[in-house]
Chains A and B, each alone.
Chain A
Amino acid sequence: MKKLINTPESVLEDALAGVAAAHPELTVDIPNRVITRTVRPDAPKVALISGGGSGHEPLHGGFVGRGMLDAACPGEVFTSPVPDQMLAAAKAVDSGAGVVFVVKNYTGDVMNFELAAELAAEEGVEVRTVLVNDDVAVEDSTWTAGRRGTGATVLVEKTAGALAERGAPLDEVAALGERVNAASRSFAIALTAATVPAVGRPGFDLPEDEIEVGVGIHGEPGRRREKLRPARELAAEVVETILADHHLTPGDEVIALLNGLGGTPLMELYIAYGEVAARLAQHGITVARSLVGNYVTSLDMAGFSLTLTKADAQLLELWDAPVDTPALKRA
C-alpha cells in the first residue's frame, strides 16, 4: 500500500481537518463528525442531510452548501456513520421545517439512519427518509438487501436541495427525492480494486487484463469478471445494461452522470462519456444535461459508473438551479 496518509487510524480525522482548512464556508465538527454550512439559510427551510462511509469523496461533504445539502455525516472508511452523528447534524440544521435524510441502500446505512430517525423524532425533529437504490447490477427481490444506492445520490441531493432552497415543504422535498431515485439507474465497471487504508491491500485481486463488471462503491467485487475490452465496448455494455432495466424510449431526455471511481484519469472518463453519448444517440435518447468527473468514488478504484436519470422540465430546472458547494458549483 502506497498512500498519502499519516496513519491508517487517523485517516478520517486528518481528512476532515483538511476539509476544514480548505473550506471556511463549511463548519467541520471533527469530534461529532458532522459537516454543516457555515452560513445558514436566511429563512427556515427543509434541511437535507446525507452521510455514508468515507472514501466516496466528494460525496457527501463536498456537496454541503447552498442549493444542495445542509449537513453531511462521514463514517469510517466504507462504514456507515453512527446514529449520534445524524442526530447531531439534525439538531444543528433543523430550522423547524423538518429534515430529509438521503440514504444509500446499504444495510448499515439503512439501519443507522433508521435509529437516527427514531432518536431525532424523540427530540422533536420531523424526519423523512429518501432511500436511493439505483444500481441495476444487483438482482432485486424481497429476499435480498435490494439494490445499492450509488450515483443517483448526487442527482437526488442536487434536485431535492434546489427544491428545499425554494421553500418547498418537507413532504414535497422528500417526494421529489423519491421521484428522482425512481427515474434513475446506474451501473459500474471496475478496472482495479480499492485499497482500504486500515486493511492495507486491495479488496480483491484483479489480474492486469481483467475487469469486474457491476461493482459497488465499497471495494466489494462485482457480479462477474471479464476480460478488459476497449472503452467503446465497455461503455456500450453499461448503456445496454441500464436500458434493459430503464424504460426509456426514443425521444426521451436524460441527465447523464459519468462518474469516476477515484483512480481513473479524467481523460479516460471523457473517452467513456463520448462512447456513452454516441450509444445513447443510436437509441434516440437525448442527453439534456451531463456531468463527467469524480463524484461518487470508491477510494482509489479505477473504473467508472454511469447514471441515467429520465428528465422532465421540472427536473431539468432543478438541476440547473444555482448551487454553491465545494464539488458542484453553478451560478
Chain B
Amino acid sequence: MDFDTPLFDTPLAEAWVRAIAAAVEKEEGRLTELDSAIGDGDHGSNLRRGFAAALTALDGLRPAGPGAVLSKAGTTLISKVGGASGPLYGKAFRAIGAALPGPAGPADLADALAAGLDAVRTLGRAEPGDKTIVDAYTPAVAAFRACAAAGAALPEAAGAAADAAEQGARDTIPLRARKGRASYLGERSIGHQDPGATSTALLFRTLAEVAAG
C-alpha cells in the first residue's frame, strides 16, 4: 500500500456526514424548489431533518471504523426521514458502511460506493434513465472506479465522481420520469432536473471537498 495516499478513515467519514448536513441545510431551498416543480416539495426539508438527526446520532458514538459512522447515519435516515429519500439514502449509507470495516483506499471505497448504488437500485427498482438518484449515482461510481483503477488518489477520484454526478443530474433534465412521484406528471416531468439526482450530486461534491482536505 502507498502510505502517502490519504485513506477514507473514521475522521474523514465523520467529516463527510457533517459536510453533507451543512450542504443540505444550505441547499434546502434549491432542492425544495426542484422538488416542487415535479414532486411534492419536501426533498430539501426531509434531507435537512435527516442529516441533522444523523449528526446528533454520531455525537457520543465511538465508531469502530468509517463504516460504523456511515451505517449509523444510514440507520438514522431510515428512522427519521420517511418518504422515498429516507429509505433510499438510508439503505445506501448502510450498504456503504457495511463494506468499510476499516480505513479504505480508493479501490475499496469504489467498491463500497458501488454497494450503496446496488442497494438504491434494488430498493427503488430504478434503472438509469428513470430520472432518479440512480442517474447521478451510476456515473459517479463509474468515474470513481475508473480513477481508482488508474491509480488516482482519493481526492482526485472523489472529484471525478462529483463532476460525473453533477453531469448526471443535469442529464436528467430532458428525461421523462418513470419512478417516484415525478412519474405521475408524465410528459410534464420533462424539462426539470431531478431533485434526487441533484442531492446525490451534492453528496459526491461534499465527499470530494472533505477528501481534498
Interface, chain A (partner B; CB < 8 A):
53, 75-84, 106-108, 111-112, 114-115, 137-139, 143-145, 148, 196, 198-199, 203-204, 216, 218-221, 223
Query: Which residue in A111, A137, A145, A218 is a CB contact (below 8 Å) of B40?
Result: A218
Which 4 pairs across A and B sit closest by C-beta, in order of nearness? A108-B83, A108-B84, A111-B87, A218-B40
Q: Do residues B184 and A79 form an inter-chain contact, with CB atoms below 8 A? A: no
Interface, chain B (partner A; CB < 8 A):
32, 36, 38-42, 45-46, 49, 78-88, 123-124, 130, 178-181, 183-186, 188
A223 proximity list for chain B (CB < 8 A): 184-186, 188
Q: Shortest beta-carbon distance, B91 to chain A, in Å?
A: 8
A84 proximity list for chain B (CB < 8 A): 79
Q: Do residues B83 and A144 form an inter-chain contact, with CB atoms below 8 A? A: no
B179 proximity list for chain A (CB < 8 A): 107, 144-145
| A261→B67 CA distance, assembly (Å) | 45
Q: Do residues A219 and B84 form an inter-chain contact, with CB atoms below 8 A? A: no
Q: Shortest beta-carbon distance, B41 to chain A, in Å?
A: 5
Max chain B CB contacts within 10 Å: which of A114, A143, A145, A220? A145
Q: Do residues B178 and A106 form an inter-chain contact, with CB atoms below 8 A? A: no
| A114→B90 CA distance, assembly (Å) | 14
| A223→B38 CA distance, assembly (Å) | 12
Residue on A nearest B33 in the bound complex, by CB: A199
Q: Do residues A220 and B185 form an inter-chain contact, with CB atoms below 8 A? A: yes
Given contacts A108-B87, A196-B40, contact A139 B186 (CB under 8 A): yes
A83 proximity list for chain B (CB < 8 A): 78-79, 87
Q: Do residues A148 and B184 form an inter-chain contact, with CB atoms below 8 A? A: yes
Q: Do residues B82 and A196 form an inter-chain contact, with CB atoms below 8 A? A: no
B180 proximity list for chain A (CB < 8 A): 107, 145
A78 proximity list for chain B (CB < 8 A): 40-42
| A145→B131 CA distance, assembly (Å) | 12
Q: Do residues A219 and B41 form an inter-chain contact, with CB atoms below 8 A? A: yes
Residue on B nearest A199 in the bound complex, by CB: B41
B81 proximity list for chain A (CB < 8 A): 79, 82
| A84→B186 CA distance, assembly (Å) | 33
Query: Which residue in A82, A106, A199 is a CB contact (below 8 Å) of B36?
Result: A199
B82 proximity list for chain A (CB < 8 A): 53, 75-76, 79-82, 108, 112
Q: Do residues B36 and A111 form an inter-chain contact, with CB atoms below 8 A? A: no
A144 proximity list for chain B (CB < 8 A): 178-179, 183
Q: Do residues A204 and B36 form an inter-chain contact, with CB atoms below 8 A? A: yes
| A137→B188 CA distance, assembly (Å) | 14
Residue on B nearest A224 in the bound complex, by CB: B188
A interface majority secondary structure: loop
Q: Shortest beta-carbon distance, A177 to chain B, in Å?
A: 23
Q: Do residues B87 and A115 form an inter-chain contact, with CB atoms below 8 A? A: yes
A108 proximity list for chain B (CB < 8 A): 82-87
Q: Do residues A82 and B184 form an inter-chain contact, with CB atoms below 8 A? A: no
Q: Shortest beta-carbon distance, B177 to chain A, in Å?
A: 8
Q: Shortest beta-carbon distance, A170 to chain B, in Å?
A: 25
Q: Do residues A216 and B184 form an inter-chain contact, with CB atoms below 8 A? A: yes
| A216→B184 CA distance, assembly (Å) | 8
Q: Do residues B184 and A203 form an inter-chain contact, with CB atoms below 8 A? A: no
| A317→B103 CA distance, assembly (Å) | 64
| A207→B179 CA distance, assembly (Å) | 28
| A198→B28 CA distance, assembly (Å) | 12
Q: Shortest beta-carbon distance, B147 to chain A, in Å?
A: 32
Q: Do residues B124 and A82 form an inter-chain contact, with CB atoms below 8 A? A: no
Q: Do residues B46 and A79 form an inter-chain contact, with CB atoms below 8 A? A: yes
| A198→B45 CA distance, assembly (Å) | 8
Task: Please give 7 more A-B residue pairs, beta carbons under 8 A apart, in addition to A108-B84, A108-B85.
Answer: A76-B83, A80-B83, A82-B81, A106-B181, A199-B36, A220-B181, A221-B188
Q: Shortest beta-carbon distance, B140 to chain A, in Å?
A: 22
Given contacts A80-B83, A112-B87, A221-B185, contact A196 B41 (CB under 8 A): yes
| A220→B180 CA distance, assembly (Å) | 12
Q: Shortest beta-carbon distance, A113 to chain B, in Å?
A: 10
Residue on A nearest B80 in the bound complex, by CB: A82
Residue on B nearest A111 in the bound complex, by CB: B87
B123 proximity list for chain A (CB < 8 A): 111, 114
Residue on B nearest A84 in the bound complex, by CB: B79
A221 proximity list for chain B (CB < 8 A): 185, 188
Q: Do residues A107 and B124 form an inter-chain contact, with CB atoms below 8 A? A: yes
A76 proximity list for chain B (CB < 8 A): 42, 46, 49, 82-83
| A220→B39 CA distance, assembly (Å) | 6
Given contacts A75-B82, A79-B83, A223-B186, contact A107 B181 (CB under 8 A): yes
| A221→B85 CA distance, assembly (Å) | 20
Q: Shortest beta-carbon distance, A154 to chain B, in Å?
A: 20
Q: Shortest beta-carbon distance, A122 to chain B, in Å?
A: 14
Q: Do residues A112 and B178 form an inter-chain contact, with CB atoms below 8 A? A: no
Q: Shortest beta-carbon distance, A117 to chain B, in Å?
A: 12
Query: Which residue in B32, B79, B86, B178 is a CB contact (below 8 Å) of A199?
Result: B32
